[in-house]
Structure formats: C-alpha cells, structure tokens
Amino acid sequence: MTAKQKINTVLAGVVGEYFVAAELSKKGYIASITLRNTKGVDILCSNPEATKTIGIQVKTNSDSNRSWILNKKAEDYFTDKLFYVFVNLNINDNEKHPDFSIVPSKIVAKYCKESHSNWLNTPGKNGQQHKDSSMRKFDDPKEYYLNRWKLLRL
C-alpha cells in the first residue's frame, strides 16, 4: 500500500466484520455474519455448545487511530448481550494485523452520551456553542479494551 492509503468506508466495514468473525472462529466460537438489513447486530456469536449467544456490532476504521464514529442510536441501543468490537485495520502498516477493542454496549452508550454532552457544553474554536448532530464518537486512546475478548463471557 502507498503512504496514507484510504479504503472505502463501506468496504472497510465489510472487511472489519470478516476479520472479527475470523478471530472469533479462531478462538473456538461459532460466529455468523448477519444480513445487511439486520438492525444493530453484525455478527451473532455463541459458545461451541450453543448455550450462550451474544450480538456484536462491528465498527471499523482503516488506520490505527483509537477513535470510531457512531450515531446517536448508540446512546440508547444497549443490552447485556450486545457488544461492540472496534477494529483498526492498520492498512498503512503492511506488517501489522488488525487490532480489536471489545466493549460492552452499555459502556459505549454511557461514553457516547457523556462525551457528546461534554462536547456540546464546551465552546467551539471561536467561542461559539457547538451545534448538535447525530454523530457520536467512541475513543480508547489508552487501549483499555484492546483484545479484551474475555468480556464477551462466552
């Protein structure tokens, strides 16, 4: 790849889902990618005995930045059985494999709500108030959730 190459965001999302499904399979879980019109769940995953099942929402970025874009729905769409797997494809480093950050949906919802509220209450560049939008972000700059597969509790 050339320096700072970008990948189409739709394609990056598909790539991320397949990498997550492959990683789950490698760990011995049963992972099934859902159809595109499945609301809020990209992968259904169960333990080998099929006694525990969870839903996974995958969010992917093409670089190594520990920040992912979500929408407002992330604030209200959570359950104990739903997890986010945030993927860094690291496409600008041919030697590096993707990184995975595993986060319970309740934590993502709380983080998105609080960080967006803080952003709205912080003045912008010229002291003006930020305008509300449906865009949200999840950040993990200290890599607290990096490779935390055990949080899935399967």
Is there a contact between 77 and 49 (Cβ–Cβ < 8 Å)? no
Residue 3 lies in a domain: no
Q: Which residue has the tokens 């990948």?
A: 7
**Two structure tokens written together for 87:** 């993927």
Q: Which amino acid is at 55?
A: G
**Two structure tokens written together for 5:** 């190459």
For residue range 78-113, list pLDDT tens digits in order: 999 999 999 999 998 877 899 999 999 999 999 999
Residue 140 lies in a domain: yes
- Please report the pLDDT score of residue 1 as a whole number: 43
Q: Give the range of the structural domain holding residue 89, as residue numbers without chain letter.
A: 9-152
- The two beta strands, 43-46 and 82-88, are unpaired
Query: What CATH number should be reported for the domain holding residue 74?
Result: 3.40.1350.10
Residue 4 lies in a domain: no
- Note down pLDDT in tens along the chain; length 154 residues: 455 677 899 899 999 999 999 999 999 999 999 998 788 899 999 999 999 999 999 999 999 999 999 999 999 999 999 999 999 999 988 778 999 999 999 999 999 999 999 999 999 888 899 999 999 999 999 999 999 999 999 9
**Two structure tokens written together for 67:** 């920040």
pTM over 0.75: yes
- Please report the pLDDT score of residue 50 as a whole number: 95
Distance of alpha carbon 154 from alpha carbon 141, whole angstroms: 26
- Exposed, middle or buried: residue 109 (CB in 10 Å: 0-12, 13-18, 19+)? buried
- Please report the pLDDT score of residue 3 as a whole number: 54
Residue 59 lies in a domain: yes
Q: What's the total number of domains in the chain?
A: 1
Query: What is the overall mean pLDDT for the chain?
Result: 93
The three-state secondary structure class of 67 is: strand
